[in-house]
Amino acid sequence: MSGFWQSALWLALSLSSAAGGAALASMSYAVASLRFLNLRGEELPKRGRGFAGIFLAGNSRRVASALALGRKFFCAFSAASMYLALSPLGGESGVWKTALAAASAVLAVFLQYCLFEIPATRIGRNYPLPTVKKLGAFAFAVYAAFLPIELAARFLVGKILPERLRRLESGFDYIDVAMMLRADENEAEAISPYTGKIVRNAFRLQELDVSDAMLPRTKIEYFDTEKSNSENLKLALGSHHTRYPLCNGGLDDCIGIMHIKDVFTAAAERDVDSLDFRALCRQTIRVRENEKLEGALAKLLKYKLQMAVVEDSFGGVIGMLTLDAALGELVGPMRGDFGNDRASGSIRVVGRNRYKIAPMTALRRVEDFLDVDFDTDEVSTFGGLVTFLLGRFPEKGERLHIPNPEMTIVIDSVGEKTVGECTVILEDSGGD
């Protein structure tokens, strides 16, 4: 084969590799648009044509790293092919070969970006479903080819990286792409920090279970049909909530939700003790503790409910999920029907490396706020962590030292059966 045809072949391979990388970029934009922003109002079909692409879109967090690795490979192969295509034009000196290699890399990247990637990403963004269907098989083949390399690389990194770096969040979840798409759609120069926080919370919502946001059984106050109406209203006057589960003897037999406004409205016409609370209560639903929080939130919004009963795998009631608590995972803590900050969980900075933490604060929220990792799945609240680490119920004033992460927990108060507020001192950064 003559030198001309060899150069032509390498040039064709270079352009083909650039097109392959652009196809993966188009898939990335299509998945972000279709799965998260839904710019065209399209939904992912469950079966049929383009199933490979639908699988990638539905498992984007799992496959994104392997696809990104494939894009890097195509870019590198395109640059190498461009060098081989242009090498007959150069001389034999080392300086010339170095200059030719640099020029080939620049030319390959420019052609890939200009001729392929810009149009491809625009197509992926504006026509996500056709893009996912047409490029799905190709992208899935790339995913299957580079998955072993991705797993091997992560294993190696896990062995050689320092522990502090290993604890940092990893992976690619399309947040940057999605925010770029939204900013471009709205023709906005930038997204505000608060909007960015909501976007990130929305993605993290997919990782949360109902148990991460529910109010535990021990914190729930309820109306009991076995008590008089006056006794139930006395409870309401003391707790100042607006909604209460209506139960037959206990939470395991929950009939519905009582709104205090309905009681007062009905009591304006007749005596309180003559009211039928069963007729006044509103319906509710039951959700499982391990159900995804975003699914439970969708149910609450669909049925226009404020509260749902949370049950375990055996059907026993272990808590309540409020709409405020679920939405609070998106927009930040909200004052719910059941509580104050101590009940719902709070973290306050009281000094340099010193924090006051309420016992019902979700453990993952403490980890995010303090940038630590307690490395346990046994408990979900900070108070539960204290009891779990001690192996018993703590005493007031007791100090608990944790070597990793380096901190001291001081139990400021205890209730009859609950851990109270605690002071956390981060000792590895200068606390005392």
Instruction: Tell me whether residue 321 is in a domain.
Output: yes
Handedness of CA 61, 171, 381, 301 (dihedral sign): negative
Strands lying side by side in the sheet with 422-426 = 347-351, 354-357, 422-426, 407-411, 399-402
Closest residue by Cα to residue 212 from 305, 295, 306: 295
Element (H, E) at 410: strand 407-411
pLDDT at position 50, please? 57
Owner of token pair 């039928």: 276
Residues 14 and 138 in one domain: yes
> Would you put residue 100 in left (φ > 0), alpha (ψ -120 to 50) or beta?
alpha
Could you tell me the two tokens for 315?
A: 């059907």
SS3 (DSSP) at 248: coil
Handedness of CA 371, 373, 379, 385 (dihedral sign): negative
Cis before 88 (ω within 30): no
Instruction: Tell me whether residue 284 is in a domain.
Output: yes
Count Cβ neighbours within 10 Å for each residue of 244-267 and write b for 16 or more, e otherwise. bbbbeeebeebbbbbbbebbeebe
pLDDT at position 152, please? 87
Residues 140 and 250 in one domain: no
Instruction: Tell me whether residue 336 is in a domain.
Output: no
The answer to whether the CB of 296 falls within 8 A of the CB of 287 is: yes
pLDDT at position 194, please? 66
pLDDT at position 40, please? 43
Residues 25 and 151 in one domain: yes
Choose the final residue of a domain: 143, 163, 182.
Answer: 182
Could you tell me the two tokens for 383?
A: 């108070």
Domain that holds residue 161: 3-182
Instruction: Tell me whether residue 201 is in a domain.
Output: no
Alpha carbon dihedral 121, 126, 127, 129, in 10-degree steps, equals 90
pLDDT at position 39, please? 42
Residues 176 and 282 in one domain: no
User: pTM for this structure?
Assistant: 0.48
Residues 302 and 404 in one domain: no
pLDDT at position 282, please? 92
Residues 275 and 381 in one domain: no
pLDDT tens-place values along the chain, 432 residues long: 566 778 888 889 988 998 888 888 888 777 777 665 544 444 555 554 456 766 776 666 667 777 788 888 998 999 898 888 888 776 667 788 888 888 888 988 888 888 888 888 888 877 877 887 788 888 888 888 888 888 888 788 778 877 666 655 555 444 445 545 555 555 445 556 667 677 777 777 777 889 888 888 888 899 999 999 999 988 888 877 889 999 999 899 999 999 988 998 888 888 888 899 999 999 999 999 989 998 999 999 999 999 999 998 888 999 999 998 888 888 766 655 554 444 445 788 887 888 999 888 878 778 878 878 887 777 778 888 898 888 888 888 999 998 877 889 999 988 777 788 899 998 754 444
CA dist 197 and 204 (Å) reads 10
pLDDT at position 190, please? 53
pLDDT at position 226, please? 92
Closest residue by Cα to residue 393 from 420, 366, 373, 374: 420
Residues 306 and 236 in one domain: yes
Overall number of domains in the chain: 3
Could you tell me the two tokens for 14?
A: 């270079």
